[in-house]
Amino acid sequence: MNISLRSALESDIDFLVDLRDATMRDYLEQVGMPISLDDYLDRIQYKFDCAQIITLDQVPIGLFKAEFQAQQNLWNLIQIQIHPGYQNANIGSRLLKNLIESAQVTQSRVSLSVVKTNPAYQLYQRLGFKKISESDYEYNLELQA
């Protein structure tokens, strides 16, 4: 099983829309967040220069989008989405642990937000993320590496 990351391209947009729908629709609906195509595209295109496609043996299976904010000494995990057919295979956990290791090198914090109904919240807690605030829809989490 060869997991790798490559920079996202405009030609990946259709895949990313389908991925967002497959991974997020239920959670977004449960909390009343918008799920239109335009909303999906806005989220996908946000910080698109940071977007990486997760591939398994060169087949796209997910999205990993993180940005280092040097002035704040902070890694911001913007999005991580693994296609449902590949979830629970420790792919997301491995990528998160790699990000945490990168943060440890620079003694940085790692932040992310998660929709309140998303079961990934439990994974983030197991990895040491703590809730620092919340909105109507999401928890804002942080880990000091």
Q: What is the pLDDT of residues 35-83, one digit of tens each?
A: 999 999 999 999 999 999 999 999 999 999 999 999 999 999 999 999 9
8 Å CB contact between 110 and 99: yes
pLDDT surpasses 80 at 1 = no
For 2, the token pair is 């060869």
Arithmetic mean of pLDDT, 12-36: 95
Angstrom distance (rounded) from CA 108 to CA 112: 13
The pTM score is 0.94
CATH number of the domain bearing residue 47: 3.40.630.30
Arithmetic mean of pLDDT, 31-37: 92
User: CA distances (Å), 132 to each of 25, 65, 128, in order?
Assistant: 25, 21, 12
Give me the number of domains the chain comprises. Answer: 1
> What letter represents residue 89's amino acid?
A
* Residue-range definition of the domain harbouring residue 124: 3-144
CB-based contacts of 10, cutoff 8 Å, min separation 6: none
